[in-house]
Amino acid sequence: MDYKNVSIGNSTLCIKLHVNNLIFNDAMTMCESEKAKLIVVTTKEQIADLKTFVGPYDWVLLGMSDEAVETHWVSWTGEDVSPYWNSGEPNNMNNEDCICVSHLGPGLVDTSCYGYLPFLCHKSFW
């Protein structure tokens, strides 16, 4: 799949779904090799649009984690983020420090940074 311009929330973003499953750090490296970054979405509207884009793929990694400081969620840029969570999330089951989009509910879920999952890269238009 190539990069596509997709309406996500109130913006049009250039994104690519990678279906070759990687762990979080390797997914970040793959995006960077394409001059892109793991996508960051936080609102209910952005998440709904993203779920439509990923279609049948479930548990897709995004560019946010609390790996450095537990319960302090940040994007790959180091900016604080306040994700829209599914009910009962984040639950930190088995030390889950990364975030993915899932079809389990309207929000996001926490997941292991070491699980092999599809992921989404985002390129700037410039």
- Is the peptide bond preceding residue 90 cis, with omega within 30 degrees of 0? yes
Strand partners, 103: none
Q: Which class is domain 4-123?
A: alpha beta
Q: What is the pLDDT of residue 1?
A: 76
- The tens place of each residue's pLDDT in the chain, 126 residues long, gives 799 999 999 999 999 999 999 999 999 999 999 999 999 998 999 999 999 999 999 899 999 999 999 999 999 888 999 999 999 999 999 999 999 999 889 999 999 999 999 999 999 865
Distance of CA 67 to the CA centre of its chain: 14
Domain extents for the chain? 4-123
74, with CB counted inside 10 A (0-12, 13-18, 19+), is middle
pTM: 0.93
Q: What is the pLDDT of residue 126?
A: 53
